[in-house]
Structure 1
Amino acid sequence: MANQKIFIMHYYFITGTSFGLGKAIAEALLQREDVFVYGISRTSSISHTHYKHVFADLSNPSQLSSIIELFEASFTNQDSLYLINNAGVIDPIKYLGDFTAEEILLLMHVNLISPIQLMNAFLKIPQGVKRRIIINVSSGAASKVTDGWSLYGSSKAALDHASLHAAKEMELNGKANIHIFSVAPGVIDTLMQAKIRAVSKHSFSMVDRFIDLHETNALDTPEQVAQKYLKILDVPQEFPKVVFSAREI
């Protein structure tokens, strides 16, 4: 009797797949076999038989339940699950003291609170799966002081720190099949960069540097950076650090 083939599936849950890095990662994964991608964002721009879009606004806490329900599906011990917290906002770029309460809450919900809530729900998935990997898309702003970026930088620094805590807790619990990372992508040619270049010097003194990066073609493409994130997803054991930059790859 011939040996029965073991059916292995890789399930990816990616926030912010409308454009930029999130879309590039999703599209690169969809070129593979045995892959199913759940894209999570306010708008859909991907069409594929192995892709399902979940419409959600991560600034709205009430909309997280539809995402968390995805983690409650039945998975097997041959399945690998991946959560990529990519969605993020940098605007409004302005000095602390100029924000409205609503602007503060919106940015923190998207960049920090929603990713932590999704991590929390993802880690509740029973242990009967082959492996789980979390990648939070961080930023170099997490370790730098840049005027106008107080909310953005602090949200990414907190996300780095949450990732470090979670990784340590998995290690202490002996959960070797769970890997957690917080990875800064570098400077990519995305809609976020366009928003940065449109800010006045009054709110962001370094705007000319970002304009120069664009004009000199010094920005990486989302597709280039996506390949680096895929390498982390494929061989997590080769990346011992929790917090690092994709530029190191």
Structure 2
Amino acid sequence: MTLRDITILTGASRGMGLAMARQLLSPSRHLLCISRGTHEALAAEAQRLNAPLTQWAQDLNDTTGAAQRLQAWLANLDANALRSATLINNAGMIPRIGPLDACPPEELSAALRVGLEAPMQLTAAFLRATGAWVATGWQGPRKVLNISSGLGRHALAAQAPYCAAKAGMDHFTRCCALDEAQRPHGARLVSLAPGVIDTDMQVHLRAGDPAEFPDLQRFVELQRQGQLTPPDTAATRVLAWLDRPDFGAQPVADVRD
């Protein structure tokens, strides 16, 4: 029997997420992409490569629904046909730029749900489902890669919700890594900052109101000086981190390390 890897990737419809999805397509890997919408070009590329691809149009604001759906999907897989299992939590969102008290309550809640609660719920579902495989004797590697940000480690005015979500992602990764280290064949987890990438997030930040975003010029200069990493390059670096033999030894890391 030819064993297959499975990879679950959120936020795969654009930017670095879409670049990662394209690079992950392989006949030997079943890729599950979870995004707000499906991507026709990605499906066509998967068909051309004979690469198994499943796409879910799933709103990650529904954190419990997304987690339950993932756990049920994993429970229906034949673990004996799988070589490894990986979850990449890449989805996130930036609410309105400005001080916390200027952020609409619904945008604040959505930023925390998508950026922190959804990764926690999906990680819990992934660990629960794949842990059941381990209990029956499966010993393939299990990995969780959380895409964090330098803004989770360095405060930025006018971006409290996003910074808080990424800081929370870093810390829950540390906690889960400690839990998994106590378990036989525990999963390995890393919260990885991918560097400064030329994505819609940067466009959003550069469009901020200077009166409410004191660091605006910093992001304008990053683009002007050519310091933004193209999504394809960033995706390659992030996925290379997954293949490191010491993946998980440092639960919170930066791709530039």
Q: TM-score, normalised by structure 2?
A: 0.88
Corresponding position of 1:141? 151
Separation (CA, whole Å) in 2 of partners of 1:238 and 1:144? 24
RMSD: 1.6
**Structure 1 unaligned regions, length at least 5:** 1-5
Would the alpha carbon gap of residues 26 and 13 (structure 1) be closer, same or farther in structure 2, given more than 3 Å must change?
Answer: same
Tell me the residue number matched to 1:169: 179
For residues 221 and 247 of structure 1, what CA distance do their matches in structure 2 show? Answer: 14
Contact 1:75-1:129 within 8 A present in 2 as well? no
Find out whether 1:104 has 2:108 as its counterpart.
Answer: yes
The one of 211, 215, 231 equivalent to 2:224 is 215
1:85-114, CA deviations, whole angstroms, 9 ceiling, x for partnerless residues? 000012222101112321221111000001
* Residue matched to 1:124: 128
- Segments of 5+ residues of structure 2 without an aligned counterpart are none
Partner of 1:54: 56
Whether contact under 8 Å (1:91, 1:195) holds in the other structure is no
Matched, 1:26 2:21: yes
Q: CA deviation at 1:212?
A: 1.4
> Residues 187 and 219 of structure 1 are in contact (CA less than 8 Å); yes or no, is this contact kept in structure 2?
yes
What corresponds to 1:12 in structure 2? 7
Matched, 1:230 2:239: yes
CA 1:89/1:185 → structure 2, altered by over 3 Å: closer, same or farther? Answer: same
Mapped partners of 1:236, 1:203: distance in 2: 44
The code of the aligned residue for 2:175 comes to: H
Offset of residue 143 of structure 1? 1.2
Q: 1:44 aligns with which of 38, 42, 51?
A: 38
| Distance in structure 1 (CA, Å) of the matches to 2:247 and 2:127 | 22
Alignment pair present for 1:193 and 2:202: yes
Residue 202 (structure 1) shift: 1.9
The Cα shift of 1:76 comes to 2.4
- Given that 2:188 and 2:247 are in contact with CA atoms closer than 8 Å, whether structure 1 keeps it comes out as no
Residue 111 of structure 1 aligns with an amino acid whose one-letter code is G
Letter in 2 for 1:16: G
| Residue in structure 2 matched with residue 183 of structure 1 by the alignment | 192
Partners of 1:75 and 1:228 lie apart in 2 by 31
Equivalent position SS for 1:67: helix
After superposition, what is the alpha-carbon deviation per residue over 1:146-168, rounded to whole angstroms, capped at 9, x for unaligned? 10011111111111000000001
Once residues 158 and 197 of structure 1 are traced to their aligned partners in structure 2, the CA distance between those partners, rounded to angstroms, is 25
When residues 236 and 153 of structure 1 are mapped into structure 2, their CA distance, relative to the original with a 3 A threshold, is farther
Alpha-carbon contact 2:63-2:121 (below 8 Å) kept? no
Paired positions, count:
241
Task: State the alpha-carbon separation in 2 of the partners of residues 124 and 173 from structure 1.
Answer: 12
Q: Distance in 2 between matches of 1:179 and 1:62?
A: 23
Q: Which amino acid aligns with 1:29?
A: L
